[in-house]
Amino acid sequence: MSNLSFSSLHVNNLTINNAFSLFKSSIDISIPVKTQLGDMLNAVLVKLITDNENFGQQINKNQKSALTDDLKPLDKERDNVQAEINRTVSFHLKGSDAAKKTAAQTLKLFLTPYWNAATLPLNTQTGVISEMIGKYKANADLKAAALLLGLDTQFAALEAKNIAFDTLYLSRNEEISGRETSGSSLKPAAIASYNQYCTAIEQAANFTPNDAILALFNNLDTLRKKYHALGGNGKPDVPPVV
């Protein structure tokens, strides 16, 4: 029997946005293999999805209410650029040009986890887009596909607008640093569901393992290590601000 255990992570110490992002990323890597997880794990996963969706909706509602007139157009601009990228990829997926169709398929596979980033809480959206751009810039095949479809300038524009939004967002945080972020009322439920899911995955990896469960365990553990460095390390957390 295996003796696998997840890396230590103090989820309570994560900021609200980082906690939501951790849960969302964990869900995103779980869904593609859910048919291989069994009924019990899927039941716990559904609970995590539900609690995190409610958590995210509350964060989004409260953060949007705190936006200034300067932030709103910047957010809209980056949403529009990403929507244009999505539309172009979708258009060429149905086209007759074989080379462009293949390029669109390459980009669609890559973009799928980020396709609806505009629906995420605003600061989480910033992090997700930053991650997407970083992976895109590091992959020659993705850049070649974008160039063929004329999307290289759009990816550059999305990066620039995302940076501009984040810069102003952080500046606004400094101005209103005394204000606490709403959304904490639903954070405990989402944390509890995440911890239950990790416990269930850990037990399955030890007692009823298969290739999908073991791979998922390793991917979830990689996420935990990443978020340990972002504040989930047991040290006192600084209250997040909007």
- Which tens digit of pLDDT belongs to each residue from 71-80? 888 999 999 9
Does the pLDDT at position 66 exceed 60? no
Give residue limits of the domains in the chain.
1-66+185-235, 68-178
Does the pLDDT at position 62 exceed 80? no
Read off the tokens for 54. Answer: 């409610």
Does the pLDDT at position 60 exceed 80? no
Q: Output the average pLDDT for the chain.
A: 87
CB 14 within 8 A of CB 232: yes
- Residues 172-186 have a mean pLDDT of 56
Structure letter (DSSP) for residue 141: H
- H or E stretch at 144: helix 140-148
CB 120 within 8 A of CB 75: no
In this prediction, residue 239 carries a pLDDT of 34
Instruction: Quickly list DSSP for 145-191.
Output: HHHHTT-HHHHHHHHHHHHHHHHHHHHHHHHTTTSPPTTGGGHHHHH
Does the pLDDT at position 190 exceed 60? yes
Highest mean pLDDT among 51-65, 147-161, 223-237: 147-161
CA distances from residue 194 to 26, 34, 219 in whole angstroms, order as listed:
9, 16, 15
